[in-house]
Amino acid sequence: MPRLTQAPNFAIATLWAEALQNLGVATSVQRQYLGGVAGELPPDQCLPEVWFTHPEQEARARELLHDLQHVPQRRWTCACGELVEGGFEQCWNCQALMPVA
């Protein structure tokens, strides 16, 4: 079972692993409980890791992970005049949905 990546925290590791599983790549999260010993061990050795089960899926797993890590950020101006940035698809001011471009 090869390691795919190290994640900055358990929540991100779980999100990536579940997203990959939903796309057909068998994964698991390892080292999820080592955060409590950071200081006793070097911090970079305590980060959670995402591993994939089938080595033949490595290329697909890496491609999908890259897509998950590089989601395009949008910037749009709502009809109410508010500038909405980031991954938001709804205006925080008037709750209007992002227009389809």
Question: Are 65 and 81 within one domain?
Answer: no
pTM above 0.85, yes or no: no
Beta bridge partners of 50: 5, 29
Question: Are 82 and 57 within one domain?
Answer: no
Question: Are 15 and 52 within one domain?
Answer: yes
The predicted-structure confidence for 75-99, as pLDDT tens digits, reads as follows 899 999 999 998 788 999 999 999 8
33-38: average pLDDT: 77
Question: Are 40 and 8 within one domain?
Answer: yes
3-state secondary structure of 97: strand
Question: Are 13 and 58 within one domain?
Answer: yes
Give the residue numbers spanning the domain of 82: 72-101
Question: Are 19 and 30 within one domain?
Answer: yes
CB atoms within 10 A of CB 7: 20
- Structurally, how many domains does the chain consist of? 2
Q: Give the Cα separation of 38 and 41 in Å (integer).
A: 5
